[in-house]
Structure 1
Amino acid sequence: MSCIAIDGNSLTLDDVIEIARNNVKVKLTDEAVKKARKSRAVVDEFVEKEEVIYGITTGFGELSNVYISKDKTEDLQKNLIFSHSCAVGECFEEDISRAVMLLRANALAKGVSGIRLKTLNTLIEMLNKGVHPVIPQQGSLGASGDLAPLSHMVLVMLNEGEAIYKGKRMPGKEAMEKAGIEPVKLKAKEGLALINGTQIMTAVGALTVYDAINLIKLAEISSALTLEALNGITDAFDERVHKVRPHKHQISCAKNLLRLTEGSEYTTRQGEVRVQDAYTLRCLPQIHGASKDAIEYVEEKVEIEINSTTDNPLIFDEDKEVISGGNFHGQPMALPFDFLGMAIAELANVSERRIERLVNPNLSDLPPFLVGDVGVNSGFMITQYSAASLVSENKVLAHPASVDSIPSSANKEDHVSMGTTAARQTREILNNTKHVLAIELMAAAQAIDLRDESKQLGKGSEITYRSVREVIDELCEDRIMNLDINKSVSLIEENVIVDAVEEEIGELH
């Protein structure tokens, strides 16, 4: 894929990933170019006539009752960006910065924002040439959009701020010069068009939901390996059980578990070793399936938002009308991102309980903490502590940000979404959950090593076990476990196990 054409209407989540992480180039469609020119012509006409229109010939927020004369509209836009560039904290990774620029460009390509084509093309050129604005993560209320962090993106367009270019952090002016990009001088409405929107929260959430889709596949794979290590009962995954409670992904999860464990000599039938398994094994389709349903719902909402215009006011060129509305409000994203955080946190919750069943001799017939010469060796004892710590942290992070609101702009903006906080928290939850699942993979592989080696693992579990053992040796005596955990996390982040398993048994649904 050499280039993706954007028009404000047809961007997909896969497109976002290709551009944000694989540096695929972007261009405008011919129709987007026409629409941008038409909406800009309306803005220019209103400015020339000195009509009173919010954000074009007025101040912002509570200052919307202050008229701005034609000769000061450029100062108004520049001052808007400078004054609003007050985000703080750690900066977003480059893939998120790229996603932010892409989503903002796609929103502007819809042709209702009144931005000049030259300005829009500058943003696209930065994306294509790898000039990535340094954007601090904190400071957005999620309405009016992501004003503060998006302003840091625009600073670089003005030869201000900071950017990452070819792996180096430098002043924005230097990055633009090295890339051969001419800076812009904002005209009427343009500053507002660039920062009044939900692209920060949506960029973070889009990458997170994409990663969650792959992570839940890994969660099913790791749980299948644990199921075998604990001689789990497969009757609970019988299709008949799930057809009488026909939630889509409860059914798909049960099917996946049977496919992953197909041919296993470690799994059992009810009554062979025990009558029932604990919930963290027996209820896997119900637990994981619910999270999969939630992730699918959020993916649907993200697909809508990445093809939406979320600034204010909006320019409708056919009627030559400008309408002030509230598309910048992040509530349609805040609620789904909170939901996503809870769904991912549950994957860690249940994984940590499976880890406990593996390491606790009171809950299985495996050696204490999965190691020989116990006492001298602590084995996997403290890995469970780490997993429990991460799970506990997730419970704090999963508190919904969207239930909070605080008034701003002299109470003109009296309800805000906190959607960016929701997206950021959810990304942290995802990172914590990766580490918990990484520990489970290690513990389950270790438990298999302590079982009868002559037995056959299931089709998917055999590939999982081999993938882990290619980078992490069996634990025969205590060693620095952090190093092993990092290796296991890399297997997850690079999608090594999911890709290998799906190549063997087909796509996990």
Structure 2
Amino acid sequence: MTSAPVRTIAVTPESPLTIGDLERARGHIDVTVDAAARERIETCRAFVLQTLDSGRSVYGATTGFGPLVVFDGRETTSEQCDNALLHLGAGQGPDLAQPVVRAAMLIRMWSLAQGRSGVSLGVVDSLANALRTDFTPAVPRLGSLGASGDLVPLSYVARALRGEGHAYVGQERLPAAEALRRAHLEPVDLDGRDALALVNGTSLTAAAAGLAVASLSRSRLAAVSLSALLIDVLGCSPAFLDSRLLAAFGHPHAGQVGSELRGLLEGLVPSGTRALQEPYSIRCTPQLIGAATSALDYADGVVRDDINSISDNPLFFPEDDFVAHGGNFFGQPAAFSTDLLTLVATQLGNLAERQLDLLIDPHRNGGMPPMLAANPGAQHAVQGVQLAATAMVASMRRSATPASIQSLPTNWHNQDVIPFGTQAALNALDQAQTLRLLHGSLAVALRQAVHVGGRRPTAPGCVALFDRLAEVVAPVNPDRPLDEDVRKAADVLDESCAGQHSL
């Protein structure tokens, strides 16, 4: 281990896993499996072994997998482990980002530690030990249907813990056996039940969904903050934020956003030069961002249920001498909710791009120069930033087709209906990351607007945000590449929103 853990997480019923825990899993975390959890795991494991000794059939432990359940499995438990994992090593595409994989490992460990999956204690300890280091399995992006869990990607996690395949230590990609040695970890021993339990859950889907919710929650706050700053810089009247008006709309989250905007704009001095009614990209921000807040609130609830669920098959109930075969690995809730997150990200992206367009237009921005250039023609200021923003919005729109309705029968029609939750969740996370950059683009333009004649904000809440942006983004005069400025501004927005309650 190369550094001290930054967070201790105890596996107890009184302390459920949180979305914040998923984000913290990108670094070293100390996951404590308490005595009660260890007893649950061992009791369930003993029941599984007794069940197998009695000659009862248990899916995946005595049988083939998927539609091949009608055939016997391999003769020994170690062979049955290979039977489960090797055929799933068929993933393609680039490796997933390490924070996504590590969050998935945490969720999988949490699920297995509930004592319903029948794994050996060493499986849970192996995941916990890896999370205390910077060991991360190399997992290809493409392969999961989110229908029988995340079979293909999680097989790469299981194999890496055995010392097979590849893994990262820090940013270095290595053969997994070498990565385990570098991280001072021992390869885990697995049998067939262990192997199937490691892969037969929606942990990767839930991880991507949770990280998307976290990112979009910050971006929702950023959208509120940037809208307030735009209103102040342009000198708009805040009359459209009247609490009576928004209460009449009947949607509580619109009222919440209106309240947040009024708080940021407290002390605003309108210029008195704007038209009676502002464009929708200003006037309808409570309604638009309020609807996004409602959708995020729903998705947040789904994710919290998912990350604390037992997504596996079969499940074991020793107290009732019962083995339950079913479909808890079917990721439909996450599929629906993360497709909704993609729509939220895309519409917030549309709003940011339109607000940016408003700022650079001298016919609508209160007389500031076109493209916010100090010397138009000789300089072009944020013209390139707007071009890139338009490209990002177009990309988001193209990616907004729902994954959750793309069901294709597969697996010899064993999986005859599938949710594609993993693709939906990873897509939502991609769009969340693009939205950050659109907000960074708008922030750079707002900073430049004040430099070329826009007024300095008058509301203290807006002044504070502007000053933080001005610390990292210099005026554009003369022209310079602004790609890094956009990323720095996005980081400032993340930092300013990280400590606030978003939903």
Is the pair's TM-score, using the shorter chain for normalization, greater than 0.5?
yes
The corresponding residue for 1:238 is 242
Q: Give the 3-state SS of the residue equivalent to 1:312 in structure 2.
A: coil
Q: What CA distance in whole angstroms lies between the structure 1 residues aligned with 2:274 and 2:20?
A: 49
1:228 aligns with 2:226: no
The corresponding residue for 1:20 is 25
Per the TM alignment, residue 408 of structure 1 is displaced from its structure 2 partner at its CA by 1.5
1:25-424 matches, cutoff 5 A: 25-68=30-73, 71-265=75-269, 267-268=270-271, 273-364=274-365, 365-424=367-426
Structure 1 380/133 Cα, relative in aligned 2: closer, same or farther at 3 Å? same
Q: What CA distance in whole angstroms lies between the structure 1 residues aligned with 2:14 and 2:111?
A: 8
Structure 1 456/329 Cα, relative in aligned 2: closer, same or farther at 3 Å? closer
Q: What CA distance in whole angstroms lies between the structure 2 residues aligned with 1:15 and 1:471?
A: 27
Structure 1 483/132 Cα, relative in aligned 2: closer, same or farther at 3 Å? closer
Per the TM alignment, residue 18 of structure 1 is displaced from its structure 2 partner at its CA by 5.7
Q: Give the 3-state SS of the residue equivalent to 1:416 in structure 2.
A: coil
RMSD in angstroms over aligned alpha carbons? 1.9
Cα deviation per residue 1:260-285 (whole Å; 9 max; x = unaligned)? 122123x357xx53110011100000
Per the TM alignment, residue 347 of structure 1 is displaced from its structure 2 partner at its CA by 1.0
Q: What CA distance in whole angstroms lies between the structure 2 residues aligned with 1:458 and 1:449?
A: 18
Runs of 4+ that moved beyond 4 A? 506-509
- Which residue identity does 2:412 align to in structure 1? A
Q: Give the 3-state SS of the residue equivalent to 2:25 in structure 1.
A: helix
Contact 2:339 2:428 in 1 (8 A): yes
Per the TM alignment, residue 341 of structure 1 is displaced from its structure 2 partner at its CA by 1.1
Which sits farther off after the overlay, 181-190 or 349-358?
181-190
Which sits farther off after the overlay, 211-220 or 325-334?
211-220
1:412-491 matches, cutoff 5 A: 412-451=414-453, 456-491=457-492
- Which residue identity does 2:398 align to in structure 1? V
Cα deviation per residue 1:184-213 (whole Å; 9 max; x = unaligned)? 232241111110010011111111111111
Q: What CA distance in whole angstroms lies between the structure 2 residues aligned with 1:221 and 1:199?
A: 33
Percent identity reads 30
Contact 1:9 1:110 in 2 (8 A): no
Q: What CA distance in whole angstroms lies between the structure 1 residues aligned with 2:112 and 2:27?
A: 22
Cα deviation per residue 1:155-177 (whole Å; 9 max; x = unaligned)? 11211111112442211111222
Contact 1:142 1:420 in 2 (8 A): yes
The corresponding residue for 2:3 is none
Per the TM alignment, residue 288 of structure 1 is displaced from its structure 2 partner at its CA by 0.6
Q: What CA distance in whole angstroms lies between the structure 1 residues aligned with 2:427 and 2:314?
A: 30
Per the TM alignment, residue 178 of structure 1 is displaced from its structure 2 partner at its CA by 3.0
Q: What CA distance in whole angstroms lies between the structure 1 residues aligned with 2:64 and 2:28?
A: 38
- Which residue identity does 1:146 align to in structure 2? D
Contact 2:7 2:28 in 1 (8 A): no
Cα deviation per residue 1:125-175 (whole Å; 9 max; x = unaligned)? 111233211111111111111000000000112111111124422111112
Q: Give the 3-state SS of the residue equivalent to 2:319 in structure 1.
A: coil
- Which residue identity does 2:39 align to in structure 1? K
Contact 1:298 1:337 in 2 (8 A): yes
Q: What CA distance in whole angstroms lies between the structure 1 residues aligned with 2:268 and 2:468?
A: 17
Q: Give the 3-state SS of the residue equivalent to 1:402 in structure 2.
A: coil
Q: What CA distance in whole angstroms lies between the structure 1 residues aligned with 2:200 and 2:155?
A: 9
Runs of 5+ unmatched residues, structure 2:
1-5
- Which residue identity does 2:410 align to in structure 1? S
Q: Give the 3-state SS of the residue equivalent to 1:67 in structure 2.
A: coil
Cα deviation per residue 1:319-373 (whole Å; 9 max; x = unaligned)? 2211110010010110000001111211110110011111112323221111132
Q: What CA distance in whole angstroms lies between the structure 2 residues aligned with 1:29 and 1:288?
A: 42
Which sits farther off after the overlay, 47-56 or 274-283?
47-56
Structure 1 354/15 Cα, relative in aligned 2: closer, same or farther at 3 Å? closer
Q: Give the 3-state SS of the residue equivalent to 2:316 in structure 1.
A: strand
- Which residue identity does 1:48 align to in structure 2? D
Contact 1:229 1:451 in 2 (8 A): no
Structure 1 451/372 Cα, relative in aligned 2: closer, same or farther at 3 Å? closer
Structure 1 336/225 Cα, relative in aligned 2: closer, same or farther at 3 Å? same
Runs of 5+ unmatched residues, structure 1:
none
Q: Give the 3-state SS of the residue equivalent to 1:401 in structure 2.
A: coil
Contact 1:9 1:307 in 2 (8 A): no
Per the TM alignment, residue 15 of structure 1 is displaced from its structure 2 partner at its CA by 4.8
Question: Normalized against structure 2, the TM-score is what?
Answer: 0.94
Structure 1 216/123 Cα, relative in aligned 2: closer, same or farther at 3 Å? same
Q: What CA distance in whole angstroms lies between the structure 2 residues aligned with 1:130 and 1:246?
A: 48
